[in-house]
Amino acid sequence: MSVWNAHQKNRGARKDRAAALGLERQVPAGRIADLLHAVIEPGDRVCMEGNNQKQADFLARALAAVDVARIHDLHLVQSVVALPEHIALFDKGIARELDFSFSGPQGTRMAALVNAGKIRINAIHTYLELFARYFVDLTPKVALIAAEAADRDGNLYTGPNTEDTPAIVEATAFKNGIVIAQVNELRDSLPRVDVPGGWVDYVVVAPKPNYIEPLFTRDPAQISEIQVLMAMMVIKGIYAEYGVRSLNHGIGFDTAAIELLLPTYAAELGLKGKICTHWALNPHPALIPAIEAGFVESVHSFGSELGMEAYIAARPDIFFTGADGSMRSNRAFCQAAGHYACDLFIGSTLQIDLAGNSSTATKGRIAGFGGAPNMGADARGRRHESPAWVKAGEEARQGRDIMPRGRKLVVQMVETFREHMEPAFVERLDAWELGAAMGLANPPVMIYGDDVTHIVTEEGIANLLPCRDAAEREQAIRGVAGYTAVGLGRDKAKVEELRGRGIIRRPEDMGVSRRRANRDLLAARTVKDLVLASGGLYNPPSRFRNW
């Protein structure tokens, strides 16, 4: 006779073991180790909620302190590996396998653990891809999540940093898994319910509020004149040309410069209301001046940003805020929005090769990609039209008699040399070696060359859409690669021909004055300027306060 509810029974057995220890829904912080030992089994697939911003840090510390004789060989499935405790799980043998998206600051330690054979990375995903797999072949058995508050029934309020929580809980709770939430406080009533109590098995009040990383705060004081110059080119040579209204900006100073030029340079060009009206974007403090200038109509966010809470709550026409006044973010929906509903993605990278493939994976560092591969890819399932999407498609077609279709604009923005004179353009990506070290069949490419439409450097813009063949693309890329070896290796005559055809454009070809590439053009030059622009509503973390 077939058994159809083995997983349900297993879930019951785990909860019975906890009950036998006297552990019901409300678990005291001091007994978290008992709970984890009771409900986690060796080899379990575990999601340890690590987001870009919010971290289930109390639960991460507790898991890193379990008895490795009882809990070991776990398979971690989580978007971000950000905390030292996440890495410690592998060092101690508590976890062995990993499926993730982004590791950022832990990238170097992760590479060392791969070399030591202590961690097996199955794949680096985009966020949406990992969430999708939660519902197919990577469903968590146990999810350890973080929320702002819970009530007596286990209902959860996430506050503005909702992030991955809804996706994780939905997959776990509806496939016989166990959901454990750390919260900052218990309240009699919640401002709103983000996760229904019926989907949550255990709630523990953490001794300290969960950690939130201010990942998207960029101090305007650190924006360089080169970044101002590149931002001017992007606004005039791409945003204005295509009429880009819906978009996503990557993280970094390059794109922060664009945000800070909207109320000045873009306004002067008469572009208010014509570009950058609808965003899939974390609440970047650098966007405050553009919002205040009336450039922005709508912003949906993946997560929140520390210090932006009061400003967001005071701008409900712009941000997605609940009846309680605070924002609800949702990484899965925002990633879908960035993929399907935005005309343009622009972001930076560490290496670009001669075909336009780019990667942030460099020797000795496995940083992951976050959302970039999802944002920075043509949405082949898209059908709705917009002027920018149609124009990009026409350029790619070049009058050929093939089925007309639109194209997403995918822009890579880099200075030709990074710090320490590391070239951003290379003949061969480090990703090849890294992929081999990780045992992958293919190198971990962040954005594939055939998805990239434009490359912007201080030397100009290369529009790859009208390039006729691979050789022409290569020269278009070399033609903006500056004094790197790749740039110096250009065919000068061919590059001039491409310039004549508008495939390569220099600042002067676009009417962008190098002399005006000055920090005075930024709508805010310091974090304090951002606070002033917000009318005092933006409350930056102390590390960004230097006044």
| Cβ 518 to other proteins shortest distance, Å | 8
- Which tokens belong to 257? 């410069």
Helix (H) or strand (E) holding 165: helix 165-173
Residue in 76, 175, 54, 169 with CA at minimum distance from that of residue 123: 76
Pick between residue 282 and residue 362 the one whose CB is nearest to other proteins: 362
Any idea what DSSP says for residue 195? Answer: B
Task: Give the whole-angstrom CA distance, residue 53 versus residue 340.
Answer: 24
Cβ closest to other proteins, residue 138 vs residue 232:
232
Give the largest CA-CA distance in the chain.
81
Q: Choose between 186 and 488: whose C-beta lies nearer to other proteins.
A: 488
The residue among 128 and 424 lying less far from other proteins, judged by its C-beta, is: 424
Q: How far is the CB of 488 from other proteins (least distance, A)?
A: 6
Asked whether 109 and 87 are in contact (CB, 8 A), the reply is yes
Min CB(265)–other proteins separation in Å: 16
Could you tell me if 478 and 434 are in contact, meaning their C-beta atoms sit under 8 angstroms apart?
no
Q: Which of 446, 236, 285 is nearest to 357 (CA)?
A: 446
* Nearest distance, CB of residue 79 and other proteins, angstroms: 33
Q: Footprint of other proteins on this chain (CB under 8 A)?
A: 224-226, 229, 415-417, 421, 457-459, 482-483, 488, 514-515, 517
Is the CB of 151 or the CB of 509 nearer to other proteins? 509
Q: Cβ(74)–Cβ(96) under 8 Å? A: yes
458: phi > 0 → left, psi -120 to 50 → alpha, else beta; which? Answer: alpha
Read off the DSSP letter of residue 191: S
> Shortest distance, CB of residue 107 to other proteins, whole angstroms?
23
Our CB check for other proteins shows the closer of 384 and 420 to be: 420
Query: Smallest distance from the beta carbon of 241 to other proteins, in angstroms?
Result: 23
Confirm if 301 and 326 have CB atoms less than 8 A apart: no
CB-nearer residue toward other proteins: 206 or 510: 510
Nearer to other proteins, 182 or 362 (CB): 362
Closest separation in Å from C-beta 446 to other proteins: 22
Provide the minimum distance between the beta carbon of 419 and other proteins in the complex, in angstroms, as a whole number: 8
CA dist 127 and 133 (Å) reads 10
Q: What token pair was written down for 269?
A: 């060009």
H or E segment and range at residue 470: helix 470-478
3-state helix, strand, coil in the chain (%, to 5): 35, 20, 45
Q: For residue 418, count other CB atoms closer than 10 A to its CB.
A: 13
